[in-house]
Amino acid sequence: MTHLRYIVPLIPALGVLAQEAPTDEVMDFDREVEVFNDHLVTLASPWMEGRVPGSDGMERAKDYCEYYLRQAGLAPAFPSTMQTDEGEVTLANSSYRQPFELGGSKKVTEANVRIGDRRFTQGRDFSVTGMGDSGEVTAPLVFVGYSIDNGPDGYSSYGEDDSLEGHIAVMLRFEPMNEEGKSLWSERGPWSGRAGFNGKLRAATERGASGIIIVNTPGADDPRTNELMDVEGSSRTTDVPVVMMTADAASSLISGLTDKSLMDLRHHADQGGGIVDLGGEATILTTIERKPLMAENVAGVLPGKGDLADEYIVMGAHLDHLGMGYFGSRSGPGELHPGADDNASGSAAILMLADRLTAQYAELPEDANARSIVFMLFSGEESGLNGSRHYVSDPPFPIESHALMCNFDMIGRVKNGRLSVSGANTGEGLSDDLAPIFDESPLEIVQPERMSGASDHTSFLSKQIPVLFAIIADFHADYHTPQDISSKINRVDSVRVVDLFERILLQQALRPERLAYQSGRTAPAQRARTESRVRFGIIPGSYDEEDKGI
Q: What is the pLDDT of residues 353-375, one digit of tens each?
A: 999 999 999 999 999 999 999 99
pLDDT at 91: 85
Spell out the domain ranges in the chain.
27-80+295-546, 104-289
Query: pLDDT-based confidence at 198, cuts 50/70/90?
Result: confident
Are 397 and 373 spatial neighbours (Cβ–Cβ below 8 Å)?
no
pTM reported for the whole predicted model: 0.68
Amino acid (1-letter code) at residue 390: H
pLDDT at 287: 96
pLDDT at 57: 97
* 3-class DSSP state of 386: helix
pLDDT exceeds cutoff 70 at 179: yes
Please list, residue by residue across 300-312, b when 16 or more beta carbons sit within 10 angstroms of its beta carbon and e when fewer do.
bbbebbeebeebb
- DSSP state, residue 257: T
Out of 3.40.630.10, 3.40.50.460, 3.90.870.10, 2.30.22.10, the CATH code matching 27-80+295-546 is 3.40.630.10
Burial of 426 (0-12, 13-18, 19+ CB in 10 A): buried
Please list, residue by residue across 204-225, b when 16 or more beta carbons sit within 10 angstroms of its beta carbon and e when fewer do.
bbebebbbbbbbbbbbbebebb
> Between the CA of residue 388 and those of 57, 315, 340, 379, 400, what are the distances in Å?
21, 12, 21, 8, 16
Quote the crossing angle between the two packed helices 491-510 and 430-440, to the nearest 10°: 140
Rounded Cα–Cα distance for residues 540 and 529 (Å) = 30
Mean pLDDT confidence for 154-171? 96
Residues in the chain: 550
Q: Residue 425: is the preceding peptide bond cis (ω within 30°)?
A: no
pLDDT at 24: 62
Q: Among 242, 212, 293, which residue's Cα sits nearest to residue 130?
A: 242
Q: What is the pLDDT of residues 271-317, one digit of tens each?
A: 999 999 999 999 999 999 988 889 999 999 999 999 999 999 999 99
Query: pLDDT-based confidence at 27, cuts 50/70/90?
Result: low
pLDDT at 465: 98
pLDDT exceeds cutoff 60 at 394: yes
Query: pLDDT-based confidence at 230, cuts 50/70/90?
Result: confident
The DSSP bridge pattern shows strands 242-245 and 211-215 to be parallel
pLDDT at 395: 98
Note the Cα 499 to chain centre separation in Å: 27
Burial of 430 (0-12, 13-18, 19+ CB in 10 A): buried
Instruction: Tell me phi and psi for residue 478, to 5 degrees.
Output: -85, -5
> Mean pLDDT highest for which of 100-104, 171-175, 195-199?
171-175
Q: Name 325's bridge partners.
A: none
pLDDT at 550: 58
Rounded Cα–Cα distance for residues 101 and 290 (Å) = 12
Quote the crossing angle between the two packed helices 56-71 and 24-43, to the nearest 10°: 150
In three-state form (DSSP H/G/I as H, E/B as E, the rest C), the secondary structure along 171-204 is EECCCCECCCCCECCCCCCCCCHHHCHHHHHHHH
Q: What is the pLDDT of residues 45-94, one digit of tens each?
A: 999 999 999 999 999 999 999 999 999 999 999 998 777 777 777 788 89
pLDDT exceeds cutoff 80 at 255: yes
DSSP string, 413-467: --BTTEEEEE-GGGBTTHHHHHHHHHHHSSSEEE--SS----STHHHHHTTT--E
DSSP string, 72-140: TTPEE-EEEEEEETTEEEEEEEEESEEEEEEEEEEEEEEEEEEETTEEEPBTTTEEE-TTS-SEEEEEE
Mean pLDDT confidence for 229-247? 89
Out of 2.60.40.10, 3.40.190.10, 3.50.30.30, 3.90.1010.10, the CATH code matching 104-289 is 3.50.30.30
Q: Which helix (H) or strand (E) is 62 found in, with range?
A: helix 56-71
Rounded Cα–Cα distance for residues 425 and 525 (Å) = 8
Are 424 and 434 spatial neighbours (Cβ–Cβ below 8 Å)?
yes
Share of the chain above pLDDT 90, in %: 75
Amino acid (1-letter code) at residue 462: S
Q: What is the pLDDT of residues 407-457, one digit of tens each?
A: 999 999 999 999 999 999 999 999 999 999 999 999 999 999 887 668 999
pLDDT exceeds cutoff 60 at 532: no
Q: Name 143's bridge partners.
A: 170, 276
Find the Cα–Cα–Cα–Cα dihedral 182, 184, 188, 191, rounded to 10°. -60
Q: Name 302's bridge partners.
A: 373
Q: Residue 297: is the preceding peptide bond cis (ω within 30°)?
A: no
Mean pLDDT confidence for 121-132? 95
More confident residue, 454 or 509: 509
Q: Name 245's bridge partners.
A: 126, 215
* 3-class DSSP state of 548: coil
Q: Kindly report which listed range (15-24, 53-62, 315-324) carries the lowest average pLDDT score.
A: 15-24
Rounded Cα–Cα distance for residues 479 and 539 (Å) = 12
Rounded Cα–Cα distance for residues 252 and 104 (Å) = 35
Q: In whole numbers, what is the pLDDT of the chain averaged over residues?
A: 88
Query: pLDDT-based confidence at 541, cuts 50/70/90?
Result: very low
Instruction: Tell me phi and psi for residue 39, to 5 degrees.
Output: -65, -45
Residue 501 CA neighbour count, 13 Å, CB half? 34
pLDDT exceeds cutoff 70 at 244: yes
The DSSP bridge pattern shows strands 467-472 and 402-408 to be parallel
Query: pLDDT-based confidence at 10, cuts 50/70/90?
Result: very low
* 3-class DSSP state of 212: strand
Termini Cα distance of the chain: 45
Q: What is the pLDDT of residues 92-126, one digit of tens each?
A: 889 999 999 987 788 999 999 999 889 999 999 99
pLDDT exceeds cutoff 50 at 476: yes
pLDDT at 231: 86
